[in-house]
Amino acid sequence: MAPHDTDNLRDRPIRTFGRTGGRALSPRQQNLLDTQLDRWRLPAPVLQGLDPRSLFQGARAVWLEIGFGGGEHLVAQAAAHPDIGFIGCEPFVEGVAKALAGIEDHQLTNVRLWPDDARLLLDAFAPASIERAFILFPDPWPKRRQQKRRLVQPEFVSALRRVLAPGGQVRFATDVASYADEALLTFLRQGGLNWTAEAADDWRRPPSDHVTTRYETKKLGDCAPVWYDFTRT
């Protein structure tokens, strides 16, 4: 793969995130993309009705992270839960390379990567096949004319709910106030998802098992991080 050749990391035009190429990759990152991506990525196209549990031998559950950024959260969670299969979705090439480095550094075997639009997976996966999903600080598209490109839309929530097992959990976080308001309404209006908050601190403080990422430390949003946990009925 050439350093800026990302065509084989995408299957169709991207709608909910910007360009997937950024700064130049380090020699190690480029080598990992060239030699290790095929080992860890899900085959494309994904067969309809795929049960993601079939990708992990002996895993008791499968968790999904949509937009894993630099991979810190994905890698740390996978290292902490070796009995769970993790699928990470991230279209940004540098993020995929960083996740591959984390997989190698921690000698993980319970991670699979999808360097493309997560909605393609949601549409293909078998119903009730994911026990937990993370959507942490997705692209906020802060300008009003851009907000139709935000990931959390009614169709997306419906697709996510379909693949969640009964009692399955969704965690959403953002540091953009307008997205926090919009996302909460969108999740609740679709039905079938219960917001678990019982007090203000439940959405003001990160959950005890959260792994802080470099993005969070930059404080690029317009509000303190907001955390929403939902369970599927």
> How many angstroms separate the CA atoms of 111 and 99, rounded?
10
Output the average pLDDT for the chain: 90
Query: Comparing 8 with 117, which gets the higher pLDDT?
Result: 117
Looking at residue 22, its pLDDT comes to: 59
Question: Which pLDDT score is estimated for 45?
Answer: 85
Which tens digit of pLDDT belongs to each residue from 3-59?
434 344 444 433 444 445 557 889 999 999 999 999 999 988 888 999 999 999 999
Please give the tally of structural domains in the chain.
1
Kindly report which listed range (4-8, 54-58, 84-88, 89-93) carries the lowest average pLDDT score.
4-8
Indicate which residue of 11, 139, 202, 229 is catalytic: 139
Whether 139 is catalytic: yes
Identify whether 129 is part of a domain. yes
Does some domain include residue 64? yes
Q: Which CATH number characterizes residue 114's domain?
A: 3.40.50.150
Residue 42 lies in a domain: no
Helix residue spans in 3-134 (DSSP H) = 27-40, 72-80, 93-105, 118-124
Angle at which helices 93-105 and 27-40 pack, to 10 degrees?
Answer: 80
| pLDDT at 148 (0 to 100) | 86
DSSP 101-157: HHHHHTT--SEEEE-S-HHHHHHHBPTT-EEEEEEES-----SGGGGGG-S--HHHH
Range ranked top by mean pLDDT from 45-49, 93-97, 213-217: 93-97
Q: What pLDDT sits at residue 44?
A: 84
**Cα–Cα distance between 200 and 22 in angstroms, integer?**
38
Query: Is position 94 within any domain?
Result: yes
At a CB cut-off of 8 Å and minimum separation 6, what does 11 contact?
44, 45, 116, 117, 120
- Average pLDDT, integer, range 141-158: 89
Residue 11 lies in a domain: no
Cross-strand bridge partners of residue 101: none
**Which pLDDT score is estimated for 14?**
39
Mean pLDDT to the nearest integer, 97-108: 97
Q: Which residues span the domain enclosing 163? A: 59-232
Identify whether 8 is part of a domain.
no
Domain-located, residue 53? no
Which one is predicted more confidently, 128 or 1? 128
Assigned domain for 125 exists:
yes
